């Protein structure tokens, strides 16, 4: 248990494990998060996101492993002494206190002077646009308003880390997008580290500096949104993020070092240095129909289905006995018809090799 030196990461989780009875919720989880970072935990329901947050907040103690914040080991520190605040999945606003009283609560507990409380609470309430609702009780407000009140209560104490557990889960699409902007702006202006739990990949991709993709109590990949999206580390991430064709691959009978999947052969130069992958992933939008730009390979495919999705059109086609799905921009795809045979193409760089 050596302390992390001052130049180490702001928050370090090292080797955290936690079981509920016989069920292992977290296996040996390690993670470094930098100061001022907007960090997201992304994963399917039940993968351990909330549990991880609860460990950081101090509501749960790990069976094994340690948590360091700014160089101090806080593994056993009780939650009221930690410099973290949580926006709860269920808001957890105190039902017997008005919005104002809720927001004032952390400052009161810290023994901040009355006058300062007043200005800081008003300030926090203004930041989330709830000025008109300060005197309301939680049950007299809508879900989105409660959400914002919970946010104000969590930021008013200027914690070092703000933990947000699916804070936008209960909101409609419009309000959600609006709140996403509020959150990102808030994070930039406050400079607080945000750890954001969500199972909505759009949210994670658009807001985060970095993302950890989790599954079954394990971290699958950590990276920037671009890395996660374009270079998934394994089949799980490729499946979970965005929409991909998953195609089984085999060595080319003619050249054992190159790879064949569906109608496509990938030359040995592009596969070099990898163990023989058993499958590849290809994002829907990486497969172009009637390509106009540069392509590494093109082939003919017969259109089996066309579906209009708004900004894109989903085209399912067949080539060399392999079904492939593509997303093409709507304007370009409007002329496509079922039964047509069209050229399709892709770049080798967009192919993700999966070895599982």
Partner 1 sequence: MTRSSEKLVKLVSSASPGLIYLWLLALVVAPNLVLFGTSFFKASAGLVTDEVTLRNYAAVFQSRTVLVLVMRTLVTAFVAAALASLVAYPLAFYVSRYMRGMKQVAVMLVVIPLWISLLMRVFAWRVILGENGAINSLLVTLGILSEPSDAFLYTRFAVVLTLAYMAIPYVFVSSFTALERVPESLLEASRDAGANRFQTFTNVVWPLSRQGLAIGFSLAFLLAVGDYVSPSMVGGLNGTMLGMVIASQFGMAGNWPLGAAQAVILMLAVALILAVIGYLGRSKGIIQAVDSGAGATLKRAATLRGRIGQILLKLAVTLPYLFLYAPLVVTLVFSFNDSRVQTFPLTGFTLQWYRELWTNTALIEAFQRTLFVAVLSTAAGTVIGVAFALILAYRVRAFGNVLQLALAVPVAIPGIVLGISLAIVAQFSGLPQGLPRVIVGHLSFVMPVIMLIVLTRLRALDPSFVEASLDLGATRMKTLLHVLLPMIRSAIIGGAMLGFTLSVDEVIVTLFLTGTEPTLPVYVWNQMRFGFTPSINAIFTLIGLISVAFVLCGLWVINRTNARTLRA
Ligand X SMILES: Nc1ncnc2c1ncn2[C@@H]1O[C@H](COP(=O)(O)OP(=O)(O)OP(=O)(O)O)[C@@H](O)[C@H]1O
Which spans of this chain sit near partner 1 (rule: CB under 8 A)? 54, 57-61, 78-81, 84-86, 88, 90-97, 105-106, 109-110, 137-139, 153, 157, 170
88 contacts which partner out of partner 1, Mg ion, ligand X, none, CB within 5 to 8 A by kind?
partner 1
In degrees and rounded to multiples of 5, residue 67 shows phi and psi of -125, 125
Total residues found in the chain within this entry: 356
User: From the CB of 95, what's the least distance to ligand X, in Å?
Assistant: 22
Nearest to 125 by CA among 105, 95, 96, 140: 105
Q: Which lies closer to Mg ion via its Cβ, residue 43 or residue 277?
A: 43
Query: What minimum distance in Å lies between the beta carbon of 86 and Mg ion?
Result: 12
Whichever of 192 and 351 has its CB closer to partner 1, that residue is 192
308 binds ligand X (CB under 6 A): no
Determine the Cα angle at 45 with ends 39 and 51, to 5°: 60
Among 5, 7, 45, 189, binds ligand X (CB under 6 A): 45
H or E element: which one contains 189? helix 173-190
Q: Which partner from the list Mg ion, ligand X, partner 1, none does 47 bind, CB cut-off 5 to 8 Å by kind?
A: ligand X
Helices 143-155 and 99-110 cross at an angle (nearest 10°) of 20
For the chain, helix (H) and strand (E) counts, in that order, are 10, 21
DSSP at 96: T
Choose the contact partner of 46 out of Mg ion, partner 1, ligand X, none; CB within 5 to 8 A by kind. ligand X
Instruction: Select from Mg ion, partner 1, ligand X, none the partner in contact with residue 39, using the beta carbon and a kind-dependent cut-off of 5 to 8 Å.
Output: none
Please, are residues 311 and 251 in contact by the beta-carbon 8 Å criterion? no
Q: Which does 119 bind (CB under 5 to 8 A by kind): Mg ion, partner 1, ligand X, none?
A: none
Task: Please choose, from the candidates 263, 106, 192, the residue with its C-alpha nearest in 3D space to the C-alpha of residue 209.
Answer: 192
* Secondary structure class of 349 (helix, strand, coil): helix
Q: Which of 50, 201, 221, 244 forms a contact with Mg ion (CB under 5 A)?
A: 50
String marking each residue 143-182 x if it binds ligand X according to CB under 6 A? ----------------------------------------
Task: Pick what 174 binds: ligand X, partner 1, Mg ion, none; C-beta below 5 to 8 Å, kind-dependent.
Answer: none
Structure tokens at 291: 């390509």
Gap between the terminal Cα atoms of the chain? 35
């Amino acid at each position: 248990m050596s302390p992390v030196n001052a130049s180490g990461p702001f928050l370090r989780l090292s080797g955290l494990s936690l079981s509920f009875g016989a069920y292992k919720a977290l296996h040996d989880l390690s993670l470094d998060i930098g100061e001022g970072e907007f960090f997201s935990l992304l994963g399917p329901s039940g993968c351990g996101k909330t549990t991880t947050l609860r460990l950081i907040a101090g509501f749960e103690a790990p069976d094994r492993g340690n948590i360091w914040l700014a160089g101090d080991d806080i593994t056993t520190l009780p939650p009221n002494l930690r410099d973290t605040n949580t926006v709860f999945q269920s808001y957890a606003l105190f039902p017997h206190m008005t919005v104002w009283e809720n927001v004032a609560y952390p400052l009161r507990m810290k023994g901040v002077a009355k006058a300062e409380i007043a200005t800081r609470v008003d300030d926090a309430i203004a930041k989330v646009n709830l000025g008109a609702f300060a005197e309301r009780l939680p049950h007299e407000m809508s879900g989105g308003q409660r959400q914002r009140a919970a946010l104000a209560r969590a930021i008013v104490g200027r914690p070092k880390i703000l933990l947000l557990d699916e804070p936008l889960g209960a909101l409609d699409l419009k309000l959600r997008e609006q709140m996403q902007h509020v959150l990102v702006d808030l994070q930039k202006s406050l400079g607080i580290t945000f750890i954001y739990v969500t199972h909505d990949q759009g949210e994670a991709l658009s807001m985060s500096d970095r993302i950890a993709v989790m599954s079954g109590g394990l971290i699958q990949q950590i990276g920037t949104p671009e890395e996660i999206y374009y270079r998934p580390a394994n089949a799980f991430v490729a499946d979970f993020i965005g929409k991909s064709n998953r195609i089984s691959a085999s060595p080319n009978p003619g050249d054992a070092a190159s790879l064949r999947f569906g109608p496509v052969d990938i030359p040995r130069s592009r596969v070099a240095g990898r163990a023989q992958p058993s499958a590849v992933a290809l994002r829907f939008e990486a497969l172009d129909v009637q390509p106009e730009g540069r392509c590494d390979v093109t082939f003919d495919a017969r259109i089996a289905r066309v579906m209009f999705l708004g900004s894109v059109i989903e085209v399912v086609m067949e080539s060399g006995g392999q079904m492939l799905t593509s997303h093409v921009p709507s304007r370009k795809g409007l002329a496509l018809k079922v039964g047509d045979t069209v050229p399709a193409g892709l770049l080798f760089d967009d192919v993700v090799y999966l070895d599982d």
